[in-house]
Chain A
Amino acid sequence: MAQPLGKKDDDQEDEEYSPFLGIEKGAVLQEARVFNDPQLDARRCSQVITKLLYLLNQGENFTKVEATEVFFSVTKLFQSKDTVLRRMVYLIIKELSPSADEVIIVTSSLMKDMNSKTDMYRANAIRVLCRIIDGTLLTQIERYLKQAIVDKNPVVASAALVSGIHLLQTNPEIVKRWSNEVQEAIQSRAALVQFHALALLHQIRQNDRLAVSKLVASLTKGSVRSPLAQCLLIRYTSQVIRDSSTNIQTGERPLSDYLETCLRHKTDMVTIEAARAITEFSGVTSRELNPAITALQLFLSSSKPVVRFAAVRTLNKVAMTHPLAVTNCNIDMESLISDQNRSIATLAITTLLKTGNESSIDRLMKQISNFMSDIADEFKIVVVEAIRSLCLKFPLKHRSLMNFLSNILREEGGFEYKKAIIDSIVTLIRDIPEAKETGLFHLCEFIEDCEFTYLSTQVLHFLGNEGPKSSEPSKYIRYIYNRVILENATVRAAAVSTLAKFGSMVESLKPRIFVLLRRCLFDSDDEVRDRATLYLNTLEWNGSGGETDKGVKEFLFGALDVPLVNLEASLQNYESSEEPFDISTVTKEVKSQSLTEKKVPGKKPPTLGLSANGPTSPFRAYENLLSSIPEFNNFGQLFKSSAPIELTDAETEYAVNVVKHIYNGHVVFQYNCTNTVPELLLENVTVMVDNFDVEEFEEVASKSLKALPYDSPAQIFVAFKKSDGLLATGKFSNTLNFIYKEVDTTTGEAEEEGIEDQYELEDLEVVPADYMLGVSLLNFKNSWESMGPDFERIDEYGLGVRESLAVAVSAVIDILGMKPCEGTEVVPNNARSHTCLLSGVFLGDVKVLVRLSFGIDGPKQVAMKLAVRSEDAAISDKIHEIVANS
């Protein structure tokens, strides 16, 4: 259909015709000279402007000089009376975004247009002027803008209001003076003017809660007609509800009636907005939720994909927190699995996975299997993640879910997708002991035919750690050795390491492993041969018992306990010296800037405390770090490390948080300090800890910092000995002492002279929960029965008035620091009673199980029955003591 007009060129035959074919910036800039003609040809000028706009739109870059030149010649076009041309002039001025000194040239022309009789001129001139203007000029035209806001032409009013919204960001104090006019505009009969006026008025008043709630209260009585304005009003309403949620006593939310009426609005846009607002209430009740869910359910069968998408996305979010409320929609949701739009289908599936109960899983999995083959990888990843969390929720279903994962693992897929599946299987193996054997087997099968080296090595590493501990380690050997025969060098080397791990852990397999490793000595790759030789030698020592045996295990299974950055730096230094390299000289502290790098402060990305130690859990990382400090070596095994607690506000000069490490007889505080001021270097940094009158704690050791340069976190340690028994609690005050030196940021040199100073940190408390390690249990009942009632202690407590049962339950869990089992931490809405099961290990490796029964009565009085079983009567009593004291 596109017949090349006037283009006879054969080369261009299959090229589509375009009016801009062969357009060139240089030529167009030449053409732009017509703007300077004394006799303006309006039509031609518009064409040239269109060409310029086309170039800008295609991403062509105009140099500063070119842009200025075009801008100046464009300003000449204000002489022309041609309206088409004038519109194009407005457009290109906005696109060129002239600098402040150039703006001066056009302001007078634009101000003239702002007062023109033609509405179109007025509206556009306002928009252009407000886009390019600065504060001083704004005060000059403020009067006209105020008039424009209440202009009887809605286009002009909207232009002024929208410009006001933009200007509020840069010149808030000026725009705030317009609120009377804006208020008047809200009453406008034009839909869009109302919308813009409401948006502007709200932004003017957004910091004044009372004014916002007054505004919302008056408008919800019903004078807002435009759907867009309604949507805005709904957003503001839910904001007011959020802010005023303090009076929960009555259970009634103000203004929620308004949102409910909006659910019945004739425009879908408003209904969705209202439904979303309701579902996002904090602590929404099922009575509030139901009408919204019903409205959304209707949308699920809409003919419009966008409407279905909006509904299913909202329901998906609700399903995360209130899965029961969404189950009503399951039938409609299931039909969406076959939706043409894959985004909708994926959302439907993940929703179903969240709302599904144990009995429906099998059926659901069958439907999903059909669906998986025809969606893109990115959607599949979402599904895989949903299945993983489903499996963690219903561990009993691990068989069918694991099966599903292994099936999709066999199918075609990209790296990210396969990685998501592998990660899921690994998580399931870690968290569900029953799933371990099958899971490991699936992983073995996977590496038989895996095209991704990275994944193969990851799986081999994991097999090496988990396989030897399984009931029948020998069956994995075949899969691992196959890798040595069939794969590339990287995978072969990983397989050799894995074999060695089996050899060291499983005595019975050792002779056979030796045979296999010897074969690897003839491998074509250096690394594989080296590893095989190394492991053969280390394994030969292994078994001779004593120190070396431990050393071998440590070597095979331990993570590299020096940060790679430090190791790299040390190795670089080493090359020039003559002494043999000693890995123990490498600093183990994560002080990413050693002395050699001092000259370039702040260049490295801040390493997050301890994460440099590789993909180990934080606990493992802490363990490694602490064991590298000789002063703490005699403390024994680390029992628990708390999450970091901030001791400073977010925006202070020195950011400090603390981690509490609990040992049997000691407590170590690890202060993670960051210097956030580029101009300062801190030296001799110590933390002075005052344990007030708590005599159970005695300071035994501390480790200070020599230097703390800008933006390189480092740690200070202070260790205490607990003199009295196991459970000592108390409060500590902390002060940071240091010498600060100013740093010249250009050279990175610090001044010679420093000034001593100190900085008060917030207090820190050791609580009973610190001595309790939460441990998840799969089957609480079995453990409870097997523990027996020998050391059972039961008592009842009144907890006083609480907002809800859920609040009371989570408070008690926090006090005890134990892990809830079988999902019992979730309290159903409006429940009058609830039983919560907790499990944990107390300091000294004493297993503790707790059964909490809660009840709530009319005036929100909560009572609790606490039953404890543990391996030690004293600990059972202690648990009661903890609860009684808090």
Chain B
Amino acid sequence: MQESCPSVKNILLLDSEGRRVAVKYYADDWPTHAAKLAFEKSVFTKTQKTNARTEAEITMFDGYIIVYKFVQDLHFFITGGDNENELILATVLQGIFDAVGLILRNNVEKRAALENLDLILLCLDEIVDGGIILETESSVIAGKTASDCMDGMSSLSEQVISLTLAKLYILKYFYRNKYNKYI
């Protein structure tokens, strides 16, 4: 149908035991809940022993290409079709990985992800729409997700600045100045 448009079949965010943190399926390749779980299980077991912490890794099975990256107790997976350009999938993976890092203020682990599940889900929603890549730039994704706190801000650059992360730095800087003054 859309054979020529790069597409993502699913995004999986699993914990260190292969349980779901957040998942999103865009293709009908796994029609039932059981089929989805079976796929997640085989993806998890096949990649479990690999070291995908510094660089994203890749594997291929059952006619799917899967790029993945791990951090702490979180495992990120992006699945694409057999003929998909691996590097496009890797770009999507990098986008979501970095965006989650920004949202969770670099404290990327399962507990933080669950506590901020609303933001994680919004983030998934902003990166791919029905299988079509919507955005790959992590700062923009995180910006769109977090922009909620700043009503009325419209331009993208403003949204990026509005990141809580950025705010934190400003606060830190502010306090340090204040502290210096007292000394």
Which of A's residues lie within 8 Å of B, judged by CB?
2, 16-20, 46, 49-50, 53-54, 57-59, 61, 83-84, 87-88, 91, 94, 118-120, 127, 131, 153-155, 158-159, 162-163, 165-166, 169, 192, 195-196, 199, 202-203, 227-228, 231-232, 235-236, 239, 268-269, 272-273, 276, 303-307, 309-310, 313, 340-341, 343, 376, 378
- B71, CB-defined interface residue at 8 Å: no
A306:B114 contact, CB within 8 angstroms: no
Which one of A58, A227, A309 lies within 8 Å of B20 (CB-CB)?
Answer: A58
Q: Is B6 an interface residue (CB 8 A)?
A: yes
Contact status A343-B58, CB under 8 Å: yes
Check B144 against A155 for contact (C-beta < 8 Å): yes
Q: CA–CA, A376 to B49, complex, Å?
A: 12
Residue from the list B59, B87, B134 in contact with A268, Cβ < 8 A: B87
Per DSSP, chain B at the interface is mixed
Contact A87:B148 (CB < 8 A) given known A46-B118, A165-B5: yes
Chain A residue at minimum C-beta to C-beta distance from B56: A306
Q: How far is the CB of A463 from chain B (nearest CB, A)?
A: 35
Q: Which of B20, B56, B115 contacts A19 (CB 8 A)?
A: B115
Interface flag for B106 (CB, 8 Å): no
User: Is B85 within 8 A of A276, CB to CB?
Assistant: yes
In contact, A91 and B134 (Cβ under 8 angstroms): no
Contact among A94, A232, A236, A306 for B58, CB-based, below 8 A: A306
Shortest 8 CB-CB contacts between residues of A and residues of B = A269-B87, A310-B86, A84-B148, A59-B33, A306-B90, A50-B118, A309-B58, A83-B148
- B111-130 CB mask vs A (1 if < 8 Å, else 0) is 10011011001100100011
A118-B152, A120-B144 known; A269-B55 Cβ under 8 A: no
Taken together as a complex, chains A and B put the C-alpha atoms of A165 and B5 apart, in Å, by 10
Given contacts A228-B136, A304-B56, A305-B55, contact A272 B85 (CB under 8 A): yes
8 Å CB contact of B129 from A50, A83, A162, A341: A162
Across-interface contacts of B33 in A (CB, < 8 A): 59, 61
Are B129 and A127 touching (Cβ within 8 A)?
yes
Residues of B within 8 A of A87 (CB): 122, 148
A340 to B59, CA, bound (A): 12
Interface centre among A91, A166, A269, A376 (most CB of B within 10 A): A269
Q: Which residues of A contact B4 (CB under 8 A)?
A: 202, 232, 235-236, 239
Mask: chain B, 78-95; 1 = CB below 8 Å from A; 0 = not: 000000011111110000
**A158 B148 Cβ-Cβ under 8 A:** no
B50 touches A2 (CB 8 A): no
* A contact residues around B114 at 8 Å (CB): 18-20
Please judge, given known A-B contacts A119-B154, A162-B132, A306-B58, whether A91 and B87 are in contact too, CB under 8 Å.
no
**Interface residue? B75 (CB, 8 A):** no
Query: Do the beta carbons of A305 and B154 come within 8 Å of each other?
Result: no
**Contact A272–B87 (Cβ < 8 Å):** yes
> Is A153 within 8 A of B154, CB to CB?
yes
A120 & B147 in contact (Cβ 8 Å cutoff)? yes
The smallest beta-carbon distance between A153 and chain B, in angstroms, is 7
B86 and A272 contacting across the interface, CB-CB below 8 Å: yes
Question: Of B6, B111, B147, B149, which contacts A228 at CB under 8 A?
Answer: B6
Task: Tell me the B residues contacting A by CB distance below 8 Å.
Answer: 1-2, 4-6, 20, 22-23, 33, 36-37, 46, 50-51, 55-61, 67, 85-91, 110-111, 114-115, 117-118, 121-122, 125, 129-130, 132-136, 144, 147-149, 151-152, 154, 156
Contacts of A83 in B (CB 8 A): 148-149, 151
Q: List 6 A-B contacts (CB under 8 A).
A: A94-B125, A155-B156, A166-B132, A192-B136, A306-B90, A309-B86
How many angstroms from the CA of A269 to the CA of B55 in the assembled complex? 16
A228 touching B133 in the complex, CB below 8 Å, given contacts A203-B5, A306-B87: yes
Contact A57 B1, beta carbon cutoff 8 Å: no
For B117, give its contact among A53, A192, A228 (CB under 8 Å).
Answer: A53
Residue from B6, B60, B111 in contact with A231 in the complex, judged by beta carbons closer than 8 Å:
B6
Q: How far is the CB of A218 from chain B (nearest CB, A)?
A: 18
With both chains docked as a complex, state the minimum distance between the C-beta of B144 and any C-beta of chain A, in angstroms.
7
Contact of A118 with B148 in the complex, beta carbons under 8 Å: no
Residues of B within 8 A of A166 (CB): 129-130, 132
Q: A57-B20, A119-B154, A309-B60 are in contact. List 11 more A-B contacts (CB 8 A).
A: A2-B111, A18-B114, A19-B117, A50-B117, A131-B130, A159-B134, A165-B5, A272-B87, A310-B85, A313-B86, A341-B59
B5:A232 contact, CB within 8 angstroms: yes
Q: Is the CB of A53 within 8 A of B121?
A: yes
Contacting A203 at CB < 8 Å: which of B2, B56, B115?
B2
Across-interface contacts of A155 in B (CB, < 8 A)? 144, 156
Q: Are A196 and B148 in contact (CB under 8 A)?
A: no
Query: Chain A residue with minimal CB distance to B33?
Result: A59
Residues of A within 8 A of B36 (CB): 59
A268 to B87, CA, bound (A): 7
The residues of A that contact B147 with a CB separation of less than 8 Å are 120
> Cβ of A343 and Cβ of B60 under 8 Å apart?
yes
From residue A166, how far is it (CB to closest CB) to chain B in Å? 5
B85 touches A162 (CB 8 A): no
Closest to A314 in B: B86
Q: Are B86 and A54 in contact (CB under 8 A)?
A: no
Q: In whole angstroms, how far apart are the Cα atoms of A254 and B55 in the complex? A: 39
Which one, B87, B115, B130, B152, contacts A162 given CB within 8 A? B130
Residues of B within 8 A of A303 (CB): 55
**How distant is the Cα of A239 from the Cα of B88 in the complex, in angstroms?**
19
Residue contact A192 to B121, C-beta cutoff 8 Å: no
**Alpha-carbon distance between A57 and B13 when the two chains are bound, in angstroms:** 11
CA distance A54 to B87 in the complex (A): 30
Q: List the A side residues contacting B111 at CB < 8 Å.
A: 2, 16-18
Residues of chain A within 8 A of B90, CB atoms compared:
304, 306
Contact A192 B134 (CB under 8 A): yes
CB distance from A774 to the nearest CB of B (A): 33
What residues of chain A lie closer than 8 Å to B149, measured between beta carbons?
83-84
Is there contact, CB below 8 Å, between B134 and A306?
Answer: no
A228/B88 in contact, CB under 8 A: yes
List of A residues within 8 angstroms of B2 by Cβ? 165, 203
Q: A322 CA to B50 CA in the complex, in Å?
A: 33
Cβ-closest chain A residue relative to B73: A16
- CB-CB under 8 A from A376, the residues of chain B are 46
Instruction: Note all chain B residues with C-beta closer than 8 A to A236.
Output: 4
> How far does the Cβ of B34 sit from chain A's closest Cβ, in whole Å?
9
A residues within 8 A CB of B134?
Answer: 158-159, 162, 192
Known A-B contacts A19-B114, A20-B114, A232-B4; the reply to A378 vs B61 at CB < 8 A is yes
Which residues of B are found within 8 Å of A199, using beta-carbon distances?
Answer: 5, 132
Of A163, A268, A309, most B-chain CB atoms within 10 Å: A309
Question: Can you name the residue of chain B whose Cβ is closest to the Cβ of A299?
Answer: B87
Residues from chain A with a CB closer than 8 A to the CB of B121 are: 50, 53, 57, 91
Cα–Cα distance between A264 and B147 once the two chains are bound (Å): 38
* B86 cross-chain contacts in A, Cβ below 8 A: 272, 306, 309-310, 313
Bound form: Cα–Cα A306–B92 in Å: 13
Which B residues touch A119, using CB under 8 A?
A: 154
Question: How many Å from the CB of A349 to the closest CB on chain B?
Answer: 15
B6 near A341: Cβ-Cβ < 8 Å: no
B24 CB to closest chain A CB (Å) equals 8
Are A59 and B91 closer than 8 Å at their CB atoms? no
Residues of B within 8 A of A127 (CB): 129
A340 close to B51 (CB less than 8 A): yes
* With A2-B111, A118-B154: A306-B148 Cβ-Cβ less than 8 Å: no
Known A16-B111, A127-B129; judge A57-B22 contact (CB<8 A). yes
CA distance A671 to B135 in the complex (A): 56
Report A-chain residues with C-beta under 8 Å of the C-beta of B1.
Answer: 169
Shortest distance from the beta carbon of A523 to any chain B beta carbon, whole Å: 43
Q: Which residue of A lies closest to B6 (CB)?
A: A231
Which residue of chain B lies nearest to A344 when distances are taken between CB atoms in the complex?
A: B58
Q: A340 — which chain B residues lie within 8 A by C-beta? A: 50-51
Q: Is the CB of B88 within 8 A of A231?
A: yes
Q: A44 → chain B, closest Cβ, in Å?
A: 13
B135 touches A192 (CB 8 A): yes
Q: Looking at A18, A192, A306, which has the most chain B CB atoms within 10 Å of its CB? A: A306
Cβ contacts under 8 Å, B46 to chain A: 376
